Amino acid sequence: MIFYEVTVDVQASIAESYLEWLLEHVREMETFPGFGTAQVYEEQTAPDSIMRWVIIYPVHSATELEDYFQNEAPRMREDGLNRFSDQFTASRRILKPKMR
Is the CB of residue 49 less than 8 Å from the CB of residue 11? Answer: yes
Predicted local distance difference test score (pLDDT) of residue 98: 85
How confident is residue 48, by pLDDT bands cut at 50, 70 and 90?
confident
- pTM (predicted TM-score): 0.91
**pLDDT tens-digit profile of 51-90?**
999 999 999 999 999 999 999 999 999 999 999 999 999 9
Is the CB of residue 82 less than 8 Å from the CB of residue 48? Answer: no
- Distance (Å, whole) CA 50 – CA 45: 10
Please report the domains of the chain, with CATH numbers, ordered by start residue.
2-95 (3.30.70.100)
Q: What single DSSP character describes residue 86?
A: T
- Distance (Å, whole) CA 14 – CA 49: 11
Closest CA to 61 of 97, 91, 29: 97
**For the chain, what percent of residues have pLDDT higher than 90?**
90
Residue 100 has pLDDT above 70, yes or no: no
Rounded to the nearest 10 degrees, the angle between the axes of helix 73-84 and helix 15-29 is 170
